[in-house]
Structure 1
Amino acid sequence: MSIGIISISHKTAPVHIRALLSFNQEEQRDFIKEAVDSKIVDECVLISTCNRTEVCFSSKSENINYTIDSIQKFLASTKNIEMKILMKHFRVFTDRAAITHLFRVACGIDSMVIGEDEILGQVKQAFNTSKEVNCTSTIFNVLFREAITNAKIIKTQTLLSKIPVSIGTFAANAALDFIEKSEDKVIMIIGASGKIGGTVLKNLCNCKANKIIVTTRNHNSFKDTCIKYPFIEMINYEERYKFIDRADVVISATSSPHYTLTKEEVEERFITLKDRLFIDLAVPTDIDGRISTIENSTLYNIDYFNKLSKENNARKLKELEAADIIINDGVDNFEKWLIFREFMGDMDKISKVFKDHSIENIIYSIRDNSSKEELETFIKCISRAVEDFQ
């Protein structure tokens, strides 16, 4: 029995290629059922997210390369894509490498944002979809159970998913720490429709910040977000100074070549005396640096968060080492289960041999038919077993 994974992900393919191989749930069901029903593979699970498509399979075929080639062609034909377009983007894993890859995917180590939690739910969903259409059996039932359990162990025993490294996450955390989740505090975001600003807004929404003001030049861009999160207030970009006095934290992350906030304009509109935090995530800078000289005002720029990011990346690398140890242990345990499962199929035959022959003759036969290394391993194992039963 061979286990394999054919992978296309953010590591090998640009977004337009990944989009070509995107599967909705119904397409997933059809693909895996056809793969199993047509005897291309014995078991099949298809993981499809915005950053990856992973075809996981087991096969009794003695020609694993033929199986891999068949799946790749089936993928291409299903999505009506020329094989030559896809071939340079495929990563192929077999046996232990495939098992290890699945474990790494499930715990988020292989993700674009290392340690992210969302992928574990996506792996669970893909496995459950496959189970529902009878495209898994004993081997994949155990494999995916172990991969999911291993991911949960990594989540609880390491800090991998708890250490932020993105600038947007750092900025959101800094804003939340500053307002200390007070009900009357207000956060303003200038440039929330951009990549970094969007990340900040998403993190603040997930933490249920009490009041957020977002500036926009297009009210349609945040209409759905405001409906979902009623604590978000949308204003025109040109009105930002009108609302500046209400804000306790102001975050700016635009691609503007000019300042979004200047000292003179801000100072002129300040009425309330209170502590304020300004966060500038833009390059070139959005916020006039002289704002930091205004009484009770603090300014962080992107260099401040880049330093934090580098420090946390170093911490995350240490956590990766711990996660790799947990993964290796999990993969070892699954491979031992797999080997023993095949061995148990011969148990009746083995029992008969032990019934018909003395233990001494069997051990001498093992000695005569083993290499030095195999015999040393056998003796160590049998000695440990003897100790266990004494």
Structure 2
Amino acid sequence: MLVDEIMYCISINHKNSDLKIRKQFAFSEDTQKALLNCLVTSGCINECLIVCTCNRMELYFVGNENAVSFAKNTLAEYSGFEVSRLSKQIFLFYDDKAISHLYNVVSGIDSMVIGEDEILGQIKRAYTFAQRCKTTGYELNTVFQAAIACAKRIKTETVLSKTSVSMATLAANEVARLGENVSVMVIGATGKIGTSLVKNLVSHKNISIITTLRNHNNDLTYRNDVSAVEYNDRYKYIDKVDCLISATSSPHYTITYYDLQKCLKENKNRLFIDLAVPPDIDKEIEKISGIRLVDVDYFKTLAKENNSLKLSSIDEAKKIIEEEIEALKKDMLFHSFLPYIDAVKMKLKEKSFEELLYKLREELSAEEFEKILNVYKTFGGVE
């Protein structure tokens, strides 16, 4: 690039951190906004964007040589995670590698469930949020718009996402395997993951669904046999269900050991699925007889089978990514050169064409020089 500042990415994800660590970086929107504003007023970072999902927290930023140190210190401050430990925990990508990492993430190649659809929407929302916070500029705008367009192309031209299995799908399949007639309660049905979860659950005929709503003005129009109860009344109905799934963005537990052990009367096996980060369900409930609790990390194992089916499409997707990144780099190089065009044109009038050719021959490799000569020949109409 023709600029001193470059793009970086600090990543904490399912590959390098367990759920206990990731939940410390599951920042609320208010915290994300404060963090982004802190970074862009630092003097060493001009642009920044944060992605927070169940499986990753990634900070993309453009800055100078002091940017990485300041970003790590800021993440440590906002998460309460010791900066010395953070340095050992993170993946750090910079320049072309940061761009390549983003393309792999948004296309679903880097996901726990390869090819899953949810990450594209999550990246879009993160980008839109950063725009609203006014913390993006030319470079992040250009890179993220191009990465999103590339992910759409991969979805169209490969089968990577054609049989996509998201976390919501895996959870629904786990519930369906419980038996002939399964009753499930979903907490957080109107949220991002919850909406997808309920749609997956209703595709199974052996599942009846109870959702919790904080007010009955919310409308769930998936199927007639999806019933809704007030969130505050949830413990009144839990004793009758075979499974409970919680997928909210609440900073507090939606299910606690203290309240749950008081309401359970019927002695039977029950499955509790926690799809939230930070967790929605108090881990202490595992002390109650018959209860099995699984969280997002559990689905890593289930995802492996799905991922093996997608491996043949990854190479095809990576070729598309290489093409798209090459086009992106050309666009960004051309943009950075625009301020110099008039000055170069004036200088060329003072120099001979032969001088330029000799200079190019001196500076370029044989392969690069051949491409330049071919362009000149085509431009001159002699080939």
Query: Residue 159 of structure 2 aligns to a residue in which SS?
Result: coil
CA shift in 2, pair 1:204/1:38, >3 Å: closer
Q: Which residue of 2 aligns with 1:72?
A: 72
Paired residue type of 2:351: H
Alignment-derived partner of residue 53 in structure 2: 49
Is the CA contact (8 Å cut-off) linking 1:214 and 1:235 kept in structure 2?
A: no
The reply to whether residue 224 of structure 1 matches residue 212 of structure 2 is yes
Residue among 12, 23, 28 paired with 1:19 = 23
1:348 corresponds to 2:352: no
Deviations along 1:57-77, one digit per CA (max 9) or x if unpaired, are: 112x2x2xx321221011101
Residue in 2 aligned with 1:137? 137
Alpha-carbon deviation of 1:386?
3.0
Aligned counterpart, 1:112: 112
Q: Per-residue deviation at 1:56?
A: 0.2
What is the CA–CA distance in structure 1 between the aligned matches of 2:204 and 2:241, rounded to whole Å?
Answer: 23
Instruction: Show structure 1 runs of 4+ deviating over 3 A.
Output: 164-176, 190-193, 201-215, 227-230, 232-239, 306-310, 312-315
Q: 1:165 to 1:44 in 2, by over 3 A?
A: closer
Is residue 2:103 matched to residue 1:103? Answer: yes
- What is the alpha-carbon distance in structure 1 between the residues aligned to residue 73 and residue 172 of structure 2? 45
Matched, 1:33 2:37: yes
Tell me how large the CA RMSD over aligned residues is.
Answer: 4.0
Gaps of 5+ in 1: 177-185, 194-198, 216-221, 240-252, 256-305
Tell me if 1:329 matches 2:323: yes
Asked if structure 2 preserves the Cα contact closer than 8 Å seen for 1:187 and 1:211, the reply is no
- Which sits farther off after the overlay, 74-83 or 230-239? 230-239
- AA partner of residue 381 (structure 1): I
- Greater RCO (CA < 8 Å, at least 6 residues apart): 2
Deviation at 1:165, TM superposition (A): 5.9
Query: Offset at 1:105?
Result: 1.2
The alignment covers a number of residue pairs equal to 302
Sequence identity (%): 31
Structure 2 distance, partners of 1:345, 1:389, is 26
Task: Give the structure with higher Rg (CA).
Answer: 1
Q: In the alignment, what sits opposite 2:310?
A: 316
The Cα of 1:28 is off from its aligned counterpart by: 1.4
Change in Cα spacing, 1:99 to 1:347, as seen in structure 2 (3 Å) is same
- Determine whether 1:205 maps to 2:199: yes
Match of 1:9 in 2: 13
Contact 1:9 1:53 in 2 (8 A): yes
Counterpart residue number, 1:380: 371
In 2: Cα distance, 1:383 partner to 1:145 partner? 32
Q: Is 1:85 matched up with 2:85?
A: yes
Q: Once the 2 structures are TM-superposed, how far is the Cα of residue 335 of structure 1 from its aligned partner?
A: 1.4
Match of 2:62 among 54, 58, 63: 58
Q: 1:71 to 1:173 in 2, by over 3 A?
A: closer
* 8 Å Cα contact 2:117/2:164 also seen in 1: no
TM-score (norm 2): 0.67
SS at match of 2:212: helix
Q: What CA distance in whole angstroms lies between the structure 1 residues aligned with 2:96 and 2:330?
A: 11
Structure 1 length-normalised TM: 0.66
Code of the residue aligned with 2:130 in structure 1: it is: S
List runs of 5+ in structure 2 lacking aligned partners.
187-192, 228-236, 243-268, 272-300
SS in 2 for 1:323: helix
Relative distance call for 1:237 and 1:320 in structure 2 (3 A) is same
> Aligned residue for 1:271?
none
The answer to whether structure 1 residue 370 and structure 2 residue 374 are counterparts is no
